[in-house]
Each structure stands twice: as C-alpha cells, then as structure tokens.
Structure 1
C-alpha cells in the first residue's frame, strides 16, 4: 500500500516555472532527508495539466505533465498547488478547469496557490470571504474580487492551527514565497526538525513566517520628484539612533512637518513615522540574523530604545518576537 501523500501542481502554458519547481523541490528534499534517516518517502509528486505531456513555462522551459487533471480522482490528492504566470489570465477563463476545481475542492485536503495563481483560485469562488494574498504586483487585480479579504503584506495565509479553514484553502505571495509556504506544509506534516533539515539542505532560513512582509522597507522606490526627500532617505539608515521624530526629520529636510508628511504620502505611500519604523525594523532584523548583538543592544542601536519597544514592533509586522526571530534565522544567538 502506498501511503505517501500526493503533492500535485497544476501547470499550464506560460506558467511561472519557479512557482512549481520551488515548492515541489521542498517536498522532494523532505523525501531525501527522510531517506538519510532510514525512513521511507513521505511524498509523491505529480504534475497536472489539460492533458498529459510537455507544457511550456513562461521562461521557455518545458515540464512534463503526468496526467490530465480531469482524469485524476481528487480524493487521491493530498495537496494541490496552483502557480501563477503569464498564462494565468487564460486559465481564469478556462471554465472546465474552474468547474473541476470547484468539484474537487471538498475532496482535497489542502488546496492553495502560489503568486498570481490566487487569481485563478479566486475565479472559482472558493476563496470568497477568506483572507488571501498574492504577488504585490497583482494585489490591485485581486482586490477587484470584492468578496475577498486581501492582505497585501504577508507571505502566505496557510495556518494549520487557526481553525478558520486556512489549513485547507490558502494563498501565497510571489515566487519564492511559494517555498516558504511549502516549508510550512512540510512542518505541519513532518515536524519542525524535518522542515529545518530541508531548509538547511536548500540553504534557506527556516522559515519566514507567513505574516512577514513581502518586501523590505529599505527597498522602497527612490523618490523621483523631491530631491530633498531622497537625501533624507539616504540619511535615515545611518542615523537610526538619532531623534527621527516628524519635527526632526522636517528640520533635516528643510520642510515644514506638514509638507514633509504630504511628500512622504505622495512619494512613498506612507507617513514619516511608519517609514522610520520599518527601516528600524529592517536594521534590527539584519543585526539579529547576523548575530551581531544582543536584543537589548539591537534595540538601542536601531533607535527602539527599550527591548519591549522592539518586541512590539516585531509582533506588529512579523507576528514573531525578536528572540524567536533570532533563534530561527540567526547564525548564533546571544540572549543577553
């Protein structure tokens, strides 16, 4: 009897190759790690398409579909992942596929999407009323589905402990977030130690929490119309321990506080206080990952002052404490 969990990925013309290969490699590596421990494979991998055979990805590479989705018994699938890609728009109009997904959903233990695959899943109506995410570039398109609760700033919505259905239907952000999702699925199936072994094998951190922001505040776009703001943004990261209040920043930029707030909102879509908080958070994360200082020292160096202030901001943006972050991602953690 084959008791391996069947992990399937849907592929279609112009799918994003990494949306498929990245997550499936996580499950394949879990098998390798189990074999190293003298255990049998936990997973069987399957690729499904309109019909069996080669399918072109958006990168021009071809993957081979093992079977047509319409020929597969949905009850035989433990997990089905729907990737994004340039061909996603056509699949949103693929009524036979959408109907099959609707009929298959009750029989599949876990049904999720990677990147803009969320748009395909949304068209089935199965995500109505649920918290969802996708690649940041497709958030506005996803918001056109008014029945969805769109979260633009998380990596994935899978949560095996929530009890709200997010262990059954879930979405993830762009490209590499699918790998974070797959690691979360492996952790739920096989435990944290196995997921950690897989992450190490793939030379990854284990694991970015699903609630982590999609991209760094330090990667915010450079303002194109206000040179004084550009100079201020270059100055802030080197002066995180300084007074970065609205009044102090306005004085540095030679603007009134009201004008500076208006320029921040126009150029960056956020206020000065929110921006400074995110830059301080990114700096703190970097220090904790590199194990360069204790939590108390990190809080002081990055301008949070007290460790409790640092803890509040970590929970607000990452749903994790600084200590937990350091233990998960740091090369070596200092508690003091």
Structure 2
C-alpha cells in the first residue's frame, strides 16, 4: 500500500498536502509551503485542536531528490503510486528542472487527471510553466517568477498573466481561482500556503502561523518590490556598454534623451531605436528603473529621508519618487522604508 493510501486511512479528517519534487527543484519552493502547513498543525495543537494537515513529497520514485542548492529531499512515493482521491492540495514547485517536464507527456497527462479529482492544484514559482504546458492555466489568471513572465506571455497566450501578483489563489473565486492557481517567485509559495490556511481555518490561525514564521499574513505590493533589476549582459548591448556603466554613478545628472544620445555618440532618433532594440525598453523607462533600484538601496540605509533619496537619485521631488515607486513596485517609498530599513525609518521629510 502506498504512503498516500495509508494517510487516507487516518481517523482524523486531515487534509493531505502533496508537493512534487524533481532533480534541480528549488528547495524553498518545496519546504517553504510545507513548513506553513506544519506550523499550522503546531498552532492547532497548541490551542487544543487536532492537527489539520498531512504533508507528502512525491517524485518520479520514492527516495532522495537533489535540489538546485545541493540539499537532498526525500520523496515518500512516486507520483504514479499516489491515490489522487486522498489528496486535498497538490503543489508543483519551480526550479532549474522545469523544462524536463515539457516533453514528459505521462506526467502532464497525470496532472490533467489530477485536476479533475483533487480540490486544489497549484504551483510555486516557475512551476506555473508545467501547469501551463499541461494546458491547465488556459483561460485562467496566473502568475510566475518575474524572470519567467515574458516566456509565459510568449509561449502561452491563452493565459491571463498577472505579472506582479504574489499568487492567484482566491477561495471566493472573485479575484483569482479556488481550484487551479499559481504563485510568483520562491517565497510567494509561503504567501500562497498562508492564504490556503486562512481559507481552511480562518484569519486568526493564519495570522498566528505568519507571526510564528515572522511573515506578513498578506504582503502589500507585488513581487516587483522583491526583484532586483539587473543590467542586461553586455553581449547584446555592445554599442551602449560604456553608457550603461556610466549611468548608475550619475543618476542625479540630467539624463534626458539628448544627453544620453550625446554620450553614446548617436543622434537622439538613432539612439532611441538602438536602445529600445537592445534593451527591450525606452531610455526613459530604463533610467527610471535604475533610479528606483538606487532609491530602494538608499531607503534601506540608516535614517535617510525620502526627500534626500529623491535628490540623490535624480527624481528632484519626493512626489516624483513616490509615483515611480508605485509604477514599478506597487508600494510607496515610505512603506518600503518602514519594512526594509536596517534601523527605524527616519520619516518622509
């Protein structure tokens, strides 16, 4: 008898949470959500109630599974041996190994069969691409890790992508899906698991779990505020390499189109065309994004004000900085500083 069938025989009406692991899976995508359910059990028993969840890890077969960080997890059983009728929630995590599933028709067919049987089917991080390849996200709202959003838009146009959402689970079905859902980058799987616990046992218990794990129950803003903006590799931007190296140290300067074009030795029209082609965005948007990144770093420093950050990063006025933060991070500079400053935030002036 498989491990999952044994769990089904339990006399307590627990919900079985299953997470599928595979070679090169992101370890946090698996253990992060499962720890939430484990901590929910701790909080339930601490208040005299029965534990509410059983957790199970599947893989291609039972035994050790090596994650992308080198740590090994242990799979309780192979996915083929799982009794789907016993499962409440199945989670598909992300990681470097997601592409191997695109040609694994047996596993994709199994996911489609699971969707018809289990109450909840979700993904963590780039695991959304596996659900997308199986066709399970067509016509649904979905999100994934910010670095995979372009791929999802390109390869799965039938999906309603919400790039800056932390997850698309909503037990009411009004602003998400209670049955098939996704979550964004890595730690968003924890946000998703907290939302599931809240749906199962109420806000008070979910808040207790969040407090135990030192987490927000519901993080304000989206995944953009936790995603560093990286300069594209120089191979695609050879003509602009010198300018891109110069920009971060000169954010308070005049960075108009004419100024940037002059430094690059091009006419404004040619510069705008080359820049947009090589970097995938306009010069103005690129400048605003690196200014926002610099402001983020400064706001984590000790006691610096928003006004000073706006001045140093070339926004000139705090209101301009606030609007840029809202556009890129869906949060105000004050809120960001209050959450991430290394010492108590000094204030807005």
**TM range, smaller chain:** 0.7 to 0.9
Q: Identify the residue that residue 124 of structure 1 maps to in structure 2.
A: 134
Pairwise CA distance, 1:261:
1.3
Say which of 199, 220, 223 aligns to 2:234: 223
**Aligned mates of 2:208, 2:307 — CA distance in 1:** 29
| Map 1:1-336 → 2, pairs under 5 A | 2=12, 6-13=16-23, 15-28=25-38, 34=43, 43-51=53-61, 53-57=62-66, 59=68, 62-69=72-79, 70-74=81-85, 76-77=87-88, 79-85=89-95, 87-105=97-115, 108-135=118-145, 136=147, 139-140=150-151, 143-150=154-161, 153-154=163-164, 156-158=166-168, 160=170, 163-166=174-177, 168-173=179-184, 177-186=185-194, 189=198, 190-191=205-206, 194-195=209-210, 197-199=212-214, 209-212=221-224, 215-217=227-229, 219-224=230-235, 229-331=240-342, 332-336=344-348
Q: Secondary structure at the match of 2:194?
A: helix
Q: TM-score w.r.t. structure 2 length?
A: 0.75
What is the Cα deviation at residue 333 of structure 1? 2.0
C-alpha distance in 1 between matches for 2:119 and 2:307: 44
Shift of 1:272: 0.9
Query: Does the C-alpha gap of structure 1 residues 241 and 124 become closer, same or farther in structure 2, counting only changes over 3 Å?
Result: same
Return the alpha-carbon distance in structure 2 between the equivalents of residues 126 and 227 of structure 1: 41
Q: Give the whole-Å Cα distance in 2 for the aligned partners of 1:147 and 1:24.
A: 30
SS of 2:56 mapped into structure 1: strand
Tell me if the contact between 1:132 and 1:149 (Cα under 8 Å) persists in the aligned partners. yes
1-structure distance, mates of 2:48, 2:314:
49
TM-score by length of 1: 0.77
CA–CA distance in structure 2, aligned partners of residues 42 and 287 of structure 1: 44
SS in 2 for 1:244: coil
Q: Contact 1:19 / 1:114 at 8 angstroms: preserved in 2?
A: yes
Give the Cα–Cα distance (whole angstroms) in 1 for the partners of residues 173 and 256 of structure 2: 38
CA distance in 2, matches of 1:7, 1:15: 18
Q: Across the two proteins, how many residue pairs are aligned to each other?
A: 325
Q: Deviations over 1:252-295 (max 9, x none)?
A: 33332122212322332211100111011111212223354223
Give 1:54 deviation, angstroms.
Answer: 0.7
- Partner SS state of residue 45, structure 1: strand
* Preserved contact between residue 314 and residue 321 of structure 1 (Cα < 8 Å): yes
Which residue does the alignment assign to 2:8?
A: none
Gaps of 5+ in 1: none
Q: Distance in 2 between matches of 1:279 and 1:310?
A: 12
Measured in 2, the distance between the counterparts of 1:83 and 1:325 equals 28
State how far apart, in whole Å, the 1-side matches of 2:315 and 2:134 are. 45
Task: Name the CA shift for 1:273/1:184 in 2 (closer, same or farther; >3 Å).
Answer: same
**How large is the Cα RMSD of the aligned pairs?**
3.7
Aligned mates of 2:165, 2:300 — CA distance in 1? 19
Contact 1:82 1:113 in 2 (8 A): yes
